[in-house]
Structure 1
Amino acid sequence: MADIMNNLSDRLLFGIPKKGRLHEHSLALLNGADINFYRHNRLDIALVQNLPIALVFLPAADIAKYVADGNVDLGITGQDMILESQVDDRVVHLLELGFGKCKLQVQVPIKSTIQKVEDLVGKRIVTSYEVLANDYFEKLDKKHLNENQRKEGEKTKIEFVSGSVEAACALGLADGIVDLVESGETMRAAGLHAIATINSTQAILFRNKNPSNPSLVSKITSRIKGVIAAQKYVLLSYNIHRNTVSEATKITPGRQAPTISPLENNDWVEVQSMVCKDDVAEIMDKLEEIGAKDILVFKIDNCRV
């Protein structure tokens, strides 16, 4: 441990979620970006072997504040954590990472008489997201105070609990909850349904305003951006008659432009283009319809775009 601590002074500090799904996705991202490290058992700091970086494994909820305060240079956490920590104006968003996608929603019992979020004004809300819930219901409180001449004291009560909150309504602790929802299955199992969405969130890469090594931050950002692009795209290669090239390249325009190479048969060319992985089957169908041959799909492990 002493050796690791002595080697931190010249290293960029990178905050990584220490557990859960954000942790697993973050490790996969680091692996794809060729950020190689070995983490000793029970240690929350790991030295990267091929770059002057130290990974600091922290609770996802704490990373936003560590980055904003300059304790670490950059980090990965959910957008909701940054907003809840009230540091959004003190950090710089670099990349949306495409995982950890959730919605912060207001949920009430399915059998409740409460049908819309305005019905919760003046009632009890339980949440782990006290700041965001307070902001949201303060606006509703003011709106209804003005519209209905309600008394100043009739304010929605926000109570903080850590961890799981879906049992709060069943236990009589609250009339509704505010919590992150991914698929909604857990909430439905608890007899709850959403009546409003406060915001949508996903994992992001972000840095503090004055990182210790800006050029290294740029390099990491570029690598991770390449990994994300590689996850979204495949390389499509096909042969097409010269007379049909214009029509074909409308189907596969590529990110910048397709690569067109001559073949020994002068009437035909080879076309290579990056296409969205989700659309590749339909694109292949369209190419086949206009006479394309030898249509091949190649996986992209990494790239720069």
Structure 2
Amino acid sequence: MSNSLKLGLPKGSLEQSTIELFAQAGWNITPFSRNYFPVIDDPELTCSLVRPQEMALYVADGTLDLGLTGQDWIRERDCEEKVLPITLLEYSKSSNKPCRWVLAVRKESPIQSLADLQGKRVATELEHVTRSYLLQHGVSAEVIFSWGATEAKAVEGLVDAIVEITETGSTIHAHGLRIIDEVMQTSTCLIANPQAYSDPWKKEKIDQIALLLSAALAARHKVILKMNIPSANLQKILPFLPSLNAPTISPLTDSSWLAVETVVDRKLVRQLIPQLKAAGAVGILEYDLQKVV
């Protein structure tokens, strides 16, 4: 039975945000500029930096036991039946939302719908998925692989359309392009080699990593609010005070006051704090969380 797990980390735009996520989950990873093998402070793990586009292939053939890559690249490499998805980890380099692969054309292009691509040329890095998407919709178009600067190929008229990944669409629009359809949404997925996951020791380690990564991401959406409230105002405050289950309420030495602690969605804080203040709460404190399990 092996006592080492081979972990693949995405090289490129997701590299830093993945290292930060692992740090929040409890593992410190130190990358080196001159090699692809970061050091991790866990003797049971070894790390390799791998391009997300190739990750599923290396997990599928057992070179890696575990890796993080997008659902898009799992489909593109035809590895959906060859790797075991453990959990979705919705994060990207700048947000916690899924990214989109979109079909886009120049703003002034006469192409208005997918059907207008019949006989046209489409550039993308996501060749296999794009061909399947066009075939599914009965469109026959030439799909060519793009080695980069994909938006520029449409702007310069080298191709009629592109399929490119975007988080918000702002970069697409900034290049003078117009989105006409969405090909797929994608999030980062923790995937395992099926044979590795059948090993009891590796399964336990993989499940530990999945649990703590998911807990770290869940914590990014939550905060702890602590406050003191007048005992007489408790029933006024409770109806608009959300929590994971129920707020923690403790008496103070002054029986006319209570200490209240609760976990709430981060996005609700800006509405909650003024409401709490108006209801008599004082000493309101907000704390970030590291994990929510």
Fold similarity call, TM over 0.5: yes
Distance in structure 1 (CA, Å) of the matches to 2:276 and 2:170: 40
Matched, 1:241 2:234: no
Give the AA of the match of 2:237.
A
The partner residue of 2:283 within 294, 299, 305 is 294
Distance in structure 1 (CA, Å) of the matches to 2:60 and 2:11: 18
For 1:260, the equivalent position in structure 2 comes to 249
For 2:291, the equivalent position in structure 1 comes to 303
Distance in structure 1 (CA, Å) of the matches to 2:178 and 2:63: 39
Could you list the per-position Cα deviations for residues 115-168 of structure 1 after superposition, in whole angstroms to 9, with x for gaps in the alignment? Answer: 1222113322111111111111101217xxxxxxxxxxxx22212222221122
TM-score by length of 2: 0.88
Distance in structure 1 (CA, Å) of the matches to 2:269 and 2:242: 13
The partner residue of 2:91 within 82, 89, 98 is 98
Matched, 1:125 2:122: yes
Distance in structure 2 (CA, Å) of the matches to 1:189 and 1:252: 42
Shift of 1:194: 0.3
Larger deviation, residues 210-219 vs 50-59: 210-219
Could you list the per-position Cα deviations for residues 275-300 of structure 1 after superposition, in whole angstroms to 9, with x for gaps in the alignment? Answer: 11222111111212222222111222
Secondary structure in 1 aligned to 2:153?
Answer: coil
For 1:149, the equivalent position in structure 2 comes to none
Larger deviation, residues 70-79 vs 30-39: 30-39
For 1:88, the equivalent position in structure 2 comes to 80
Secondary structure in 2 aligned to 1:298?
Answer: strand
| Contiguous gaps of at least 5 residues in structure 2 | none
Secondary structure in 2 aligned to 1:168?
Answer: helix
Does the 8 Å contact 1:37/1:46 carry over to 2? yes
Does the 8 Å contact 1:47/1:53 carry over to 2? no
Distance in structure 1 (CA, Å) of the matches to 2:128 and 2:238: 50
Does the 8 Å contact 2:19/2:29 carry over to 1? no
For 1:69, the equivalent position in structure 2 comes to 61
| Contiguous gaps of at least 5 residues in structure 1 | 1-8, 143-154
Matched, 1:277 2:274: no
- RMSD between superposed Cα atoms in Å: 2.1
For 1:13, the equivalent position in structure 2 comes to 6
State how many pairs are aligned.
283
Shift of 1:222: 2.1
Shift of 1:227: 1.8
1:16-165 equivalent positions in 2, closer than 5 A = 16-19=9-12, 21-89=13-81, 90-100=83-93, 101-141=98-138, 155-165=140-150
- Cα distance change on mapping 1:207 and 1:243 into 2, 3 Å: farther
